[in-house]
Structure 1
Amino acid sequence: MQAIRVHPPESETEPPFSATNPAPSAALVLDTIPVPTLDKPGQLLIRVHATSVTRDELTWTETYSTDLPLLGHDLAGTVVAVQDDPGTNKNRTDSDLKPGDEVYGMLDTSKGSTWAEFAIATTDQVALKPKLLSWAESAVVPVSALTAWQALFVKAGVTPPDFSLITRTGSRAMDQGESARKIAVTGAAGAVGTYVVQLAALAGMHVVAVSSSKTCDEEFLKSLGATGVLQYEDLYHVKNEYDIIIDAVGGETLKRCWSSIKDDGILISIDSSSGDFVRNHREQTFTHDKQGVRALFFIVEPSKENLEQLSVALDLGLLKVFVAHEMPLHEARAAYDLANGRLQRRGKVVLTL
């Protein structure tokens, strides 16, 4: 099969690539390698039709955990084979995935491998593909939307909305007790932020979206359900305002969030550079200028259950999905560079196979 792998430096005198010495996009090479084989119960062999490009993946520590690593964590494709447990006589049910099923999902962040014609996933990492979405649209959902879902409904403890109730009434979930809570979302126009804004709005929250440009993003973010839009520098002037802040930017923006969160509020960052900041503030919560703030940093995990919940909203047309560009697998270098630049279109870059 064809796959994109990260090749080592051409010169033996050069240091190996790592998170501190990340590979350039020129190290991404289209190789022909064997199709992976199933060897554990619960595994699925999936023919990948589309996968997404995640920003900065060549800077992740996990990327360099193997020689000639494959990139990619999102996938949308067709189940080719299923590895059942030979030690059981379990009868398959309608809910079990089977060859021919169209699925989408996310592989664990510790091991990417979806930039390839075939990938192995486990049954708890994928779900049936939303019927209303194309392959490319399905491929941009898992990592970004799962991050948003888990930040909002798992880590922050917001009550997930009843999507069927929203479609019947045509209104947000104002009866679920979330309407009095105020949330700010930084990086609101980005891949994760767009889902946080939409899901928080569907849950009935008062959503303030924070982005780099109010001029460019205000109309777009309000179309997703934001009730207010700020620029990052505005956070300097907002004190003790928000019950929850979900940060997708880190750095100085995350520092500004500290003054904006209420006492006993929840501050969650998904930016990979935010672990130390969050840990330091969590340890100093009761001696700092805030009382009872829960400061969290987390990394998204695969979840079939969460994907199935997202699929309901997607098939009801309650969540908007954005694909910036579609490019063939052999253009992975250009796709990675494009995804790591300043995109002129909303959404993520997709590799199609």
Structure 2
Amino acid sequence: MSSHASIKQLQECMQSSIIGQEAVVKSILLSLLCNGNILLEGLPGLAKTRAVKSLAQHLVADFSRIQFTPDLLPSDITGSEMYLGEDSAERFAFKAGPIFANIVLADEVNRAPAKVQAALLEAMEERQVTVAGETHKMPPLFMVMATQNPIEQEGTYPLPEAQMDRFLMHISIDYPNDADEKAVMRLVRGESAANAHVADKLDVPQEAVFSARAEIDQIEINDAMEEYIVSLVAATRRPADFDADLSRYIQVGVSPRGTIALDKASRAHAWLEGRASVTPDDIRAVVGDCLRHRIGLSYEAQADGLTSNDVIGKIVKLVAVA
């Protein structure tokens, strides 16, 4: 089976267990194909954790879940040096923490203290952790999938801007519609009665992901599409050049990481849709997930009740394809 067929089959299996969240499933797969990390945000009970577990269930990979709490320590994530005793040839040995897995679920990441977030940041960005002066590498397939509840919820704290920027995508999960809600109810009832989710288990090898990434590297993106990406990002940095009202709403523009994320994600989207080159539709399909966490809104935008999604929607309407 080709890598494309394997990934499409993985997508179908995930969608069958996460009803009404097709866009979320696609974004998770795009992040996997781009070798990036993702942040899933939504109210409790909206299948954030289930989405992550669904990917791990159908992929031949080690899965680890870390429940973030205010009393968590960095060593609880990275691991620590253990004392082996006076009679041992080596007095200390490194015991790896739960971060050493292929798919890492950082559940409710915005409940963690700053030192723990910093430890997670090194693993996400550098693909390694440093303990007692020794560097330990992550496995070749490594992805952090963090979930968080909205900041307004009690007991949550905002992530540092530097860490937010390290997430390739910020995926927002909303309530399902009424028809999907009924389907979710029936799905869970069926799983409880017949354990159906085990029967539908799919084992996609890691080699399929690596092959897909190599094919995505060959996806073409022409000058016009590159200009379109740059213009979308430029509109967040120089909004007055595009629209007077837009300049009132943006305080901080998108970093170069946002440009790189758009390039990677749009090529992955084109590959997933079976295209050999990037189109404007590919870029527009990923622009929200790639930029919403990288735009700093002004107080005026917040006073007017505007969100990052609203501002990105305005930018997409204003910026034309060259």
TM-score by length of 1: 0.25
Which protein has the bigger strand share? 1
Which protein has the bigger helix share? 2
Larger RCO: Structure 1 or Structure 2 (Cα < 8 Å, ≥ 6 residues apart)?
A: 2
TM-score by length of 2: 0.27
